Amino acid sequence: MNSSVSLCIDDWKIKITERNRNRMKIQIKMGTEETQAFNNFMTELRPDHVSVDDFVRTLFYKGIEKFQEELFEKMQTYMEEHKDEIDASALQDMGHAASSMQGAKVQTHEEALEQNIEVIED
């Protein structure tokens, strides 16, 4: 049976709660179709030895990494295309900001690896 489910994120309700000790709780409420699609995705792709929590955590980390990579690439492209318009000090500041984003990417991935989530990548 072939069926497709379109994900409409406009209908999702996202709640972010700042907690004590620099913690955060992120809650995503999806509709019936989105929930079914996500459960099907997990059923097909989550290895048996990986918990649901670890799998979702990995998806979250990978999403952040991809977003940072795309942002870094766009910043580099913008800087290259607008070299004449950007003065040297601003260019240097943007380079430092881009470097720190790349550092955050590595740190985020290493955090995922420390939690034994890397098994999903095998």
Q: Do 39 and 53 belong to one domain?
A: no
**58 found inside a domain:** yes
Q: Do 40 and 88 belong to one domain?
A: no
What's the Cα-to-Cα distance from 82 to each of 19, 23, 41, 87, 97, rounded to whole Å? 41, 39, 42, 10, 17
Task: Give CA–CA dist 60/8, Å, rounded.
Answer: 18
Q: Do 25 and 74 belong to one domain?
A: no
Q: Does the CA dihedral 109-115-121-122 come out positive or negative?
A: positive
Q: Do 15 and 73 belong to one domain?
A: no
**2 found inside a domain:** no
**21 found inside a domain:** yes
* Structural domain boundaries enclosing 33: 8-45
What's the chain's length in residues? 122
On whether the pTM is more than 0.75, the answer is: no
Over residues 49-88, the pLDDT tens digits come to 999 999 999 999 999 999 999 999 998 898 888 877 776 6
Q: Do 36 and 57 belong to one domain?
A: no
Q: What is the pLDDT of residue 68?
A: 93
**3 found inside a domain:** no
Instruction: Name which residue leads in pLDDT, 100 or 46.
Output: 46
Give 117: exposed, middle or buried? Use CB within 10 Å, 0-12, 13-18, 19+.
buried
Residue type, 3: S
Residue 102 CA, distance from chain mean position: 14
Question: Is the pLDDT reported for residue 23 higher than 80?
Answer: yes
Task: Give CA–CA dist 71/74, Å, rounded.
Answer: 5
**82 found inside a domain:** yes
Instruction: Name which residue leads in pLDDT, 107 or 55.
Output: 55
Residue 19 CA, distance from chain mean position: 21
Position 47 confidence tier, pLDDT thresholds 50, 70, 90: very high
**112 found inside a domain:** yes
Q: Do 57 and 78 belong to one domain?
A: yes
Tokens of 35: 């929930």
Q: How many domains does the chain have?
A: 2
